[in-house]
Structure 1
Amino acid sequence: MQVQARVGVDIGGTFTDVALEYQGGFSSAKVLTNYAQPEQAILDGIEKAAQKAGIAMDQIGQVIHGTTLVTNALIERRGARMAFITTEGFRDVVEMRSENRFEQYDLNITLPQPLVARQDRYTVKGRIAADGSELLPLDMSDVNRVAAAIRQGGYEAVAIGFIHAYTNGSHERKMAEALGAACPNISVSLSSVVSPQMREFERFNTVIANAYVQPQVASYLKRLVQRLQLAGIKAPIFMMHSGGGLISVETAIEQPVRLLESGPAGGAIFAAQYARAHDMKKVLSFDMGGTTAKICLIEDGTPKTSNTFEVARTYRFKKGSGMPLSTPVVEMVEIGAGGGSIAALDSMGRIGVGPRSAGSEPGPACYQRGGAEPTVTDANLMLGRLDPDNFAGGEIVLSTAKAADALQSRLCGKAAATSEDAAFGVTEMVDENMANAARAHTIENGRDVQSFTMVAFGGGAPLHACRQCEKLGIDSLLIPPGAGVGSAIGFLRAPFSYEASKGLFQKLADMDATLVQATLKALEDEARRFVFDCAGDIDIAVKRIAFMRYAGQGWEIPVPLDMPLTELTDKDHLQAAFEECYRRLFGRLIDGPNIEITNWSVLVASAPPNIAPVQRRLPIGNTIKGKARKFYDAALRRMVEGQEVRRSAMLPGNSVEGPAVITENETSTIITSAFSAVMQDDGGLLVIRKGSWA
């Protein structure tokens, strides 16, 4: 009987992770990312994982892929030469932004430059009102003039964003038809398709970002499909989208902006699965790879989501300093803190870490690939947290001497410190940066971080998770099996899903029930169509969300509506749902103001699988010992005599007392002196602060 395997592939800034699942088994691989040809690293990783499993390439029945291509293209400004067409009078919306001065006293405040220069922004006469009616017909002579200018300008892509197109996209469609006739080979993105939501600044940014990356993403995905077929993989390929589900390659090519943060979204799905299995109601997902660290809140087994996302911030942790995009996304905070993050001294002689990364080319100094700047990986190697002979399953031999040279030459001179002192400074700075991000994220969401359990995964997170818990006051964390390739495994657990949104501003007291029901029905039909095209006729779950606020407020909150469609027009039900969410987030309600609804959203997803519950085992007895191993314990500020235990040698119920290092091929887990670890029945490693379970 032919084996039908499924493969999840996550391309990161340093490593490309592959998780292969087949009947009766699982295998994984980690290979360095190939910047010039990302698809080559995918093929190399799949081939390596398939060889481990003894599976032929033609036995792979499904490939699921997540990529940072879109995010990186926006941050590094490596997109298409493009134009933007908008309503007359709104040419400079993307430059004027929203008047939010996020750094009030900075006289030299730096804002992200628009992706489209002013000379490449065109306007046409015509006007749609906020209610969708036509105030001024589209001027077809203007339309033809702009289409001719686009043809002569040599553009690769065009974004069209007209005022109030979220209520009526007819003018945008006419403009697109004219462009199709004038220059049929150009990529065209419509805001009424990509982001049909109110607020023109966010909507214009989103459609511009979509058009900016569309030619590059289309070229890459078509190349990937071709290369996989030539390698013998005839299976369908699906993409992980930023909202935590799967879409087809065709949808990804049409709306590549939905691929923002697709890799981290897979990690959130991975963590949420174990949160449900272990009945952990409040989870802080901690994903640290080679380039970035991602932190996400998961409550009641569901990652927190949002309909907006900010990319390419010019100020770390400063909301409003980036490019806001309106697209469904798993809400998380992401910072430049990974194994490849580069450490340097500032003008005052202080150690700073990131956001620059050595990536995979050349990589950290200890990789012996030409890197000369000290990184977090070099520091961890110096502190005994990594085994130089068994990194990445022994496929990359690390040089302690080169790590020491990089730390000594770049960080130790003025301070007359040792390379070990510098290594401690590097790891402590990156740990504090990540802890600050976690604190800020939980506080912004009205949560107390100490009440959460951490789920740590990615190649770097298990190395730093215990220290994070010490800094944040968290008593327990879980390292799931396959943590080193967690996001890739998350792809295999993700549902087929599509979220359709629509701007429809109404006051709750005056809500048009017939219009709301018709809008929700249309959104559900749209989402069902996308899911059906991917997965066929399957069991699905439908989730409806209203974005609501008090009159006078600038922003709304998402309100899940767990009620039948017929009850959604009951104003009392809607008010009660809004007030419950508002009180949970802010602690109190506001008396007096009217309630408003700005946007509606419908998520259609394949039904979630049943997850077997796992009975928690505590580290009481059944302690096992390993070989002696020294490493640096940051809380104690000294090297400690610990032990090294192979994770594959641990059975359910086996416990390990810290200080210890628990090793596996893709990562290592550092158990500091304050913690103990116990193997769970599902292969998860539960790490608990000593004495906290007594």
Structure 2
Amino acid sequence: MLEGAEVRLAVDIGGTFTDIVLDIGELRRTRKVLTTPTQPEQAVLDGTRLILADAKARISDIDVFIHGTTLATNAIIERRGARTALIATSGFRDVLDIGTESRYDQYDLSIDKPKPLVPRALRFTVPERVDAHGDVRLPLDEAAVRALVPQLRAQNVTSIAIAFLHAYANPAHERRAGEILAAEMPGVSITLSSAVCPEIREYERTSTAVANAYVQPLMDSYLARMEQALRIEQFRGAIYLVTSGGGVTSIDTARRFPVRLVESGPAGGAIFAGQIAARLGERKVLSFDMGGTTAKICLIEDFEPESSRVFEVDRAARFLKGSGLPVRIPVIEMVEIGAGGGSIARIDAMKRVTVGPESASS
């Protein structure tokens, strides 16, 4: 059965279930196992062993391993990411609160904005300034960067986002600050906004860098453990991660820029829904993906999901644009809310029944 046939394994880790699909030529098998939240790779390995045993195959037979996951999304929505600090240009400490100075509901006096991933107490600034042309107006104060180290250690920070003004035009100051902090604080994850999102728009770039830093320790350690576990099992094929835009990337890139995986699992579902629409000849389709932790909906026209350059995570108002945390990455456009099959219901301060975003998971 295996002779001459390409063996492909696809895994999608959700907050509640981990789904595995095995393709060997014309043979296709599926398995569903409970996600292991503290060590997600364990569910991957357990499910892989089970599905390979059904097909009388081994991990060493796999040629291609495709991986999608909502781990990054769920970490942001449920606020289970790393203890993250933000270092910005002097005068820009509150960019996460100021945002674009717009309100998603102009007439709501008690508007509920999304809670920033980095609280104000963990936001710091240093003197430096680069203009929009990339010219240095004020050199980076390296002593000020080093002076932050004791404060960062005292706050038990495990990840740092650096977002300086106009770093997209000249990333030199961000890179130098990153080098200093990496030398002073080995083991701490460092994200540069100029590497994650080298584009204009200060708020969106900073928000994207913060989101990357927030999930990087979680995703980096998970992907490293998973790759090592597969190699121990004699896996010799290629590993690809599904990105938010519906493409694939290498595991090394995914470990550096896990924010690109924020909509990884749902993006795969939307791509598949588009393929089904093409088979049926349906040009206007609405796809719905109900998970245990989140629910996703996507508009598909002419067999292609809508795409965008900006995505909002964790919207405070489910259907209002501007009420979430902006992430500036290529992404399949969809609406996602923290209400899935395993979401926890509770009574809020106004005695209303609310659902999510916390989930019972597996």
TM-score for both structures, normalised by structure 1: 0.49
CA contact (8 A) 1:27 1:50 kept: no
Q: How does 1:505-544 map to 2 (within 5 A)?
A: none
For residue 100 of structure 1, the aligned residue among 96, 99, 102 is: 102
Deviations 1:162-217, CA, capped at 9 Å, x for gaps: 01111221111121122233223321111011011211111111111111111111
Q: Give the AA of the match of 2:240.
A: F
* 1:6 corresponding residue in structure 2: 8
Distance 1:147 1:356, change over 3 A: closer
* 1:43 corresponding residue in structure 2: 45
CA contact (8 A) 1:5 1:61 kept: yes
* 2:157 corresponding residue in structure 1: 155
CA contact (8 A) 2:70 2:266 kept: no
Q: How does 1:596-611 map to 2 (within 5 A)?
A: none
* 2:210 corresponding residue in structure 1: 208
Q: Give the AA of the match of 2:83.
A: R
Q: How does 1:605-624 map to 2 (within 5 A)?
A: none
* 1:142 corresponding residue in structure 2: 144
For residue 25 of structure 1, the aligned residue among 16, 24, 27 is: 27
Cα distance in 1, alignment partners of residues 355 and 128 from structure 2: 47
Q: Secondary structure at the match of 1:315?
A: coil
CA contact (8 A) 2:90 2:126 kept: yes
Q: Give the AA of the match of 2:303.
A: G
CA contact (8 A) 2:18 2:33 kept: yes
Matched, 1:267 2:288: no
TM-score for both structures, normalised by structure 2: 0.90
Cα offset for 1:117? 2.5
* 1:116 corresponding residue in structure 2: 118
CA contact (8 A) 2:296 2:337 kept: yes
Distance 1:345 1:125, change over 3 A: closer
Cα distance in 2, alignment partners of residues 209 and 357 from structure 1: 19
* 1:578 corresponding residue in structure 2: none
* 2:61 corresponding residue in structure 1: 59
Deviations 1:597-619, CA, capped at 9 Å, x for gaps: xxxxxxxxxxxxxxxxxxxxxxx
Q: Give the AA of the match of 1:17.
A: D
Cα offset for 1:61? 1.4
Cα distance in 2, alignment partners of residues 149 and 51 from structure 1: 52
Matched, 1:301 2:312: no
* 2:128 corresponding residue in structure 1: 126
Cα distance in 2, alignment partners of residues 335 and 119 from structure 1: 28
CA contact (8 A) 2:314 2:338 kept: no
Q: Which has the higher contact order (CA 8 A, sep 6+)?
A: 2
Deviations 1:265-316, CA, capped at 9 Å, x for gaps: 0011111223334443332222223343322122233221111111122222
Distance 1:167 1:3, change over 3 A: same
Cα distance in 1, alignment partners of residues 80 and 69 from structure 2: 15
Deviations 1:333-375, CA, capped at 9 Å, x for gaps: 123454445678999999x6844576454xxxxxxxxxxxxxx
Cα offset for 1:122? 1.8
CA contact (8 A) 1:151 1:182 kept: no
For residue 323 of structure 2, the aligned residue among 321, 327, 345 is: 321
Distance 1:162 1:295, change over 3 A: same
What's the Cα RMSD here? 2.6
Deviations 1:476-515, CA, capped at 9 Å, x for gaps: xxxxxxxxxxxxxxxxxxxxxxxxxxxxxxxxxxxxxxxx
Cα offset for 1:17? 0.8
Distance 1:143 1:343, change over 3 A: closer
Q: Secondary structure at the match of 1:10?
A: strand
Structure 2: 5+ residue runs without aligned partners? none
CA contact (8 A) 1:285 1:296 kept: yes
Q: How does 1:637-676 map to 2 (within 5 A)?
A: none
Q: Which has the larger radius of gyration?
A: 1
Q: Give the AA of the match of 1:112.
A: P
Cα distance in 1, alignment partners of residues 228 and 360 from structure 2: 27
CA contact (8 A) 2:22 2:29 kept: yes
Distance 1:48 1:179, change over 3 A: same
Cα offset for 1:227? 2.2
* 1:500 corresponding residue in structure 2: none
CA contact (8 A) 2:87 2:126 kept: yes
Count of aligned pairs: 360
Cα distance in 2, alignment partners of residues 360 and 173 from structure 1: 38
Q: Share of identical aligned residues, percent?
A: 52
Deviations 1:608-661, CA, capped at 9 Å, x for gaps: xxxxxxxxxxxxxxxxxxxxxxxxxxxxxxxxxxxxxxxxxxxxxxxxxxxxxx
Q: Give the AA of the match of 2:85.
A: A
CA contact (8 A) 2:77 2:357 kept: no
CA contact (8 A) 1:34 1:40 kept: yes
For residue 181 of structure 2, the aligned residue among 179, 182, 185 is: 179
Cα distance in 2, alignment partners of residues 140 and 28 from structure 1: 54
Q: Give the AA of the match of 1:179.
A: L
